[in-house]
Amino acid sequence: MTGVSVFERLLAASVDEMAAEDLEGLVNMVVAMFGAGPRAAAAQRAAIEAFKRALAGMLLAWSNPQVGLDNPGRTNKVNVQIVIWAVSSDDPEPAASTLMDKRIGDAEMGSALDVGTTTPLRSPRVAIIGAGMSGICMAIALRRAGITDLTIYEKADGVGGTWRANTYPGLTCDVPSRFYQFSFARKPDWSHMFSPGAEIRDYFTAVAHDFGLSESIRFGTEVVHAEFAETHWRVCTSNGDTEEVDFLIAATGILHHPRYPRIAGLDTFAGAVFHSSRWDHDVAVAGKRVAVVGTGSTGVQLICGLAGQAGHVELFQRSAQWVFPFPNPAYSRLGKALHRSVPGLGAAIYRGYRFVLELVAGALVKPGWRRRMVSAACRANLRTVRDPHLRQALTPDHQPMCRRLIISGGFYRAIQRRDVELVTVGIDHVAPDGIVTTDGRLHEVDVIALATGFDAHAFMRPMNLIGEHGVTLEEAWRDGPRAHLTVSLPGFPNFFMLLGPHSPVGNYSLTATAETQAGYILDWIQRWRRRQFDTAAPTQAATDRFNAEMRAAMPNTVWATGCTSWYIGQDGNPELWPWNPSQLRVRLGQPKLGDHDLTVPTRNHHLAQTVPDE
């Protein structure tokens, strides 16, 4: 179709009759004409004048969601600017040629396969696995972009993920609530600086409801198998249903699979025994003798929550941990009222926390004054333990922050109570009436709480995920979980992860991480809607390059200073983001099409040539 024939047809047509192809042709013709620059022929100038009338109609049409520019991306904005200029400017050409240079520049960078920007948007079918924090975050991003063909599979009966599963006494988040929340749904009335787990679960439940996700979530439905088939994913659930979708997004969380210790005789225990993330509230702890096994964040929070509630508490410590002393004040009514009524206050405080936490995160990823400062605070905190023997027993053998730093203003106070005991002798076995340590002592208890952590490397398992050419996730991850930019996998087109391998952790807010990742994934899906590609997966080369970069940066991090923890992967390297968390926003700012294997719709095929090869 030539530009002139489109022009003639447009002049004859009403706005309502405009076909998407006409609009596309129109844009292309404007481009062709303005491409002549300041030396445009007189004939072209005359045509441009006549054109303005039709362009005005086109602007009207663009306000029609059917036409597909309801959510203009960067390149669309350039198109819109060209048209606005054409309708209004008296001296159009210099501005137009600048805009065109920009447009061509974008295409050359491989960031804009955008000939389809004016055709009707495609409607993707999207499946999200998991209705935890990150799944909700992704679903809301999609909803806000007008994507409604959306199913969230959740094997449990409620939203909230880890905040639904964990209900143990003393549970709080170790990231300040005013930053551990969605930037687009800030809660003005958090109860505490580090709010209790139930309040956080209720927050995510309310957000899911407020953004209309309830109808999209299939509770009690586990995805057991998902397989890529040419252009789409076939998703099979535990209920026997099969669904086909264009995009599959795993939001299955990091700390999901409880890690049970191998302790002889555990199954012979006559009292109650359960993992911290499966707390049995039918078992009353008041007045009882409770054993807590494990001294990670969970064990420490449990000691604070149980001390004074249970009759006697024993903490079985295999390794001592560093504890950063952070008080957890309750917010006043005045503070909450201010947050409700002062516009911009919540946003400013959110950004303030982000700034501070990203500043402090520097301590994790490179040696220097920040690392020394955090270390000094932990050591000073330890000195508050009065009994030198107890202090010695609580002194870790590694650098502060090598393991995930424990944030607690109350642990050392709790562990010094008369009704709380620290046991540092190893566990030999469990007998029907208690725990026997290697020195032969029987610690008689009524309840054993296993605060022994999670398998943080399981990710989507045990789901059976099969990518292109029948390659399974197990095969792809034979050497450990590896992703491109934390979110995608070579050989698994149109598949994304939230909080995937190497997502920033280390006392940084995972809500902020999930928001960044969701924005990036949405960008890909928006490009699919605009027909820039049918399927996309990162190239193996780009993925290897990214992982090599991470490995090269790891020695600078505090996690590589010699300790074991759930941060360390099977190859002995930390599976964390080795740069400042702000770097995630930079790296996920915009998809690099050149780093991906793309299949493109036939009509865009010629533009695919503009994408630089690896």
Binding site for ligand NA7 (CB under 6 A): 255, 261, 263, 293-299, 316, 318-319, 404, 427, 451-454, 566
Closer Cβ to ligand NA7, 294 or 591, answer by number: 294
Quick one: 460 or 563, whose CB is closer to ligand NA7?
A: 563
Residues in the chain: 614
Q: Shortest distance, CB of residue 317 to ligand NA7, whole angstroms?
A: 7
CB atoms within 10 A of CB 349: 15
d(CA 249, CA 38): 48
Q: How large is the C-alpha radius of gyration of the chain?
A: 29
Q: What are the strands, taking DSSP E only, across 215-356?
A: 217-218, 223-229, 232-237, 242-245, 247-250, 272-275, 289-293, 312-316, 323-324
Distance of CA 75 to the CA centre of its chain: 26
Asked if residue 196 has a cis previous peptide bond (ω within 30° of 0), the answer is no
Please say whether the beta carbons of 271 and 284 come within 8 A: no
Beta strand pairing call for 447-450 and 442-444? unpaired
Q: How far is the CB of 405 from ligand NA7 (least distance, A)?
A: 9
In the complex with ligand NA7, the residue whose CB is nearer, 139 or 401, is 401
In angstroms, the CA 16 to CA 503 distance is 47
DSSP conformation letters of 382-444: HTT---HHHHHHT--SS-TTSSPPEE-SSHHHHHTSTTEEEE-SPEEEEETTEEEETTS-EEE
Q: Which residue is nearest to ligand NA7 (CB)?
A: 296
Pick between residue 113 and residue 406 the one whose CB is nearest to ligand NA7. 406
Could you tell me the smallest distance in angstroms from the CB atom of residue 276 to ligand NA7? 6
Residue closer to ligand NA7 (CB basis): 316 or 350:
316
Q: Which is nearer to ligand NA7, 48 or 300 (CB)?
A: 300
Residue 553, burial from CB neighbour count under 10 angstroms (0-12, 13-18, 19+)? middle
Pick the closer one to ligand NA7 by CB: 255 or 313.
Answer: 255
Listed residue (83, 72, 90) closest to 33, CA to CA: 83
Q: How far is the CB of 294 from ligand NA7 (least distance, A)?
A: 3
Task: Name the residue nearer to ligand NA7 (CB basis): 324 or 533.
Answer: 324
Closest approach of Cβ 482 to ligand NA7, in Å? 22
Q: Which residues contact 507 (CB under 8 A, 6 or more apart)?
A: 174, 175, 357, 360, 361, 364, 404, 405, 407
Residue 499 CB, nearest distance to ligand NA7 (Å)? Answer: 12
Within a 10 A sphere around the Cβ of 199, how many other Cβ atoms?
A: 17
CA-to-CA dists, residue 432 to 233, 271, 283, 450, angstroms: 50, 7, 17, 16
Residue for token pair 């509230």: 281
Using an 8 Å Cβ cutoff, are 33 and 77 in contact? no
Residue closer to ligand NA7 (CB basis): 55 or 255: 255
Residue 458 C-beta: closest distance to ligand NA7, Å: 13
- Locate all alpha helices (DSSP H) within 410-554, ordered by sequence: 411-415, 473-476, 510-529, 540-553
Residue whose C-alpha is closest to residue 598's, from 110, 213, 198:
110
Kindly state the smallest distance separating residue 189's Cβ from ligand NA7, in Å. Answer: 24
Helix (H, G, I), strand (E, B) or coil at 525: helix
Candidates 406, 467, 420; CA nearest to 225 is 467
Taking the least distance from each CB to ligand NA7, the nearer of 223 and 401 is 401
| Smallest separation (angstroms) from ligand NA7 to the CB of 300 | 7
CB nearer ligand NA7, residue 117 or residue 298 = 298
**Closest separation in Å from C-beta 538 to ligand NA7:** 28
- The H or E element that residue 486 is part of is none
Task: Look up residue 194 and give its DSSP letter.
Answer: S
CB of 428 to ligand NA7, least distance (A): 11
Q: Closest Cα partner for 140 from 173, 181, 175? A: 181
For residue 343, give every residue at least 6 positions away whose Cβ sits within 8 Å of its Cβ, in sequence order, or none.
none
Least gap, CB of 461 to ligand NA7 (angstroms): 18
Phi, psi of 466 (to 5 degrees): -125, 120
Name which of 365 and 600 has its Cβ closer to ligand NA7: 365
Closest separation in Å from C-beta 259 to ligand NA7: 7
| Rounded to 5°, angle at Cα 82 from 78 and 86 | 165
Identity of the residue, 130 or 453, whose beta carbon is nearer to ligand NA7 in the bound complex: 453
Question: CA 530, CA 524: separation in Å to the nearest integer?
Answer: 10
> In the complex with ligand NA7, which residue's Cβ is closer, 79 or 507?
507
In the complex, the smallest distance separating the C-beta of residue 243 from ligand NA7, rounded to whole angstroms, is: 33
CB of residue 592 to ligand NA7, shortest distance in Å: 31
Dmax of the chain from CA atoms?
100
Amino acid making up residue 183:
S
- Considering beta carbons, is residue 226 or 303 the nearer one to ligand NA7? 303
Residue 22: which of 56, 54, 69, 45 has the closest Cα?
Answer: 54
